[in-house]
Structure formats: C-alpha cells, structure tokens
C-alpha cells in the first residue's frame, strides 16, 4: 500500500490588527471627536455674541439717525439719558423711539445711553454678553458687551 503523503504547506503568520490596537484607536478617535464637539459648542456661543454686537451696532446707528431727523431736540438734550426696553428718559421723545425700544428688547439685557455735547452725540448700546464671554473664556463670569457710536449732528 502506497500512501502518498500530501505535501504540507507552512502556515503564513497571520497579519491583522489585534484587539488592543483597535481599542486604542477607538479611544483616540473618541477623544478627538469630543474635542471637536467642544470646539463647535464654543464657536456657537461666540457666534451668538457676535450677533448681539451686530444688533447693537444697528441699534446705535438707527438711534443716531433718529436724532439727526430731529436735530433741535437732540442738541437741546431731549434724547439724553438711559434707555431700556420699557422706558425712554424723556416722555416727549417716547413716541419717536417706541419701536426702537422694542428692538432694544431683542438684545438680552439691552440698555442704551445718549449724551450730547453739541455738535457731537454719543450713543452707547450695552447688552448681557455672558454667554459669549463664557464661550471664549470659560469661568470668566458675568460680562457686558457695549457698542459706542460717536457722531455729529448738524443743526
């Protein structure tokens, strides 16, 4: 009986990724994705602060235009004082700025002040900027943003 033995092949070493390498890769990928999510969240917060700054600039410009439309009252200090979403410093100008006060209320903690030193008018719009400040500098606490517009009004 002639038994032929089949030649045996040598097994090639297995080439693959071990379970530990896969776990390390997953941990590193997870840490990277968490960092990216945190960066995105901070970006959204800071972007909100930028939006408030743009609104404040528009509000200051709008109020300055209203003062230019009524230069006599403006130069006599009729618009001077502090504004909130509910009140103007002078009841005589309240009808002229009523819709502007409503817009001021769209900015969180929105307030404004007007000061005249003829022919210059300074309009300052302030708002609560805590969310954006905490996004840029975590733990920095309360913060107030402000936009100052200085312009001249011709009589």
Whether residue 7 is contained in a domain is answered as no
Whether residue 3 is contained in a domain is answered as no
Structural domain count, the chain:
1
Whether residue 23 is contained in a domain is answered as yes
Q: Are strands 81-84 and 111-117 parallel, antiparallel or unpaired?
A: antiparallel
Boundaries of domain holding 84:
19-152
pLDDT at 95 over 90: no
88 pLDDT tier (thresholds 50, 70, 90): confident
Mean pLDDT for the stretch of residues 138-153 = 79
- Summarised one tens digit per residue, pLDDT across range 7-59 is 667 766 666 668 888 899 999 999 999 999 999 988 888 888 888 899 999 99
Q: Which stretches of the chain are DSSP H helices?
A: 19-69, 71-75, 94-104, 130-136
Mean pLDDT for the stretch of residues 86-96 = 85
């Amino acid at each position: 009986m002639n038994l032929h033995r089949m030649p045996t092949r040598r097994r090639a070493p297995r080439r693959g990724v071990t379970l530990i390498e896969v776990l390390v890769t997953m941990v590193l990928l997870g840490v990277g994705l968490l960092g990216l999510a945190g960066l995105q969240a901070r970006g959204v917060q800071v972007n909100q602060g930028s939006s408030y700054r743009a609104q404040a600039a528009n509000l200051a410009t709008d109020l300055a235009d209203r003062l230019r439309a009524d230069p006599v009252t403006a130069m006599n200090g009729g618009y001077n004082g502090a504004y909130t979403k509910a009140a103007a410093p002078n009841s005589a100008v309240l009808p002229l700025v009523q819709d502007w006060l409503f817009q001021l209320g769209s900015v969180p903690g929105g307030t404004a002040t007007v000061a005249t030193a003829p022919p210059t008018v300074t309009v300052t719009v302030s708002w609560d900027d805590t969310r954006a400040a905490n996004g840029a500098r975590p733990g920095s606490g309360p913060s107030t943003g402000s936009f100052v517009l200085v312009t001249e009004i011709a009589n």
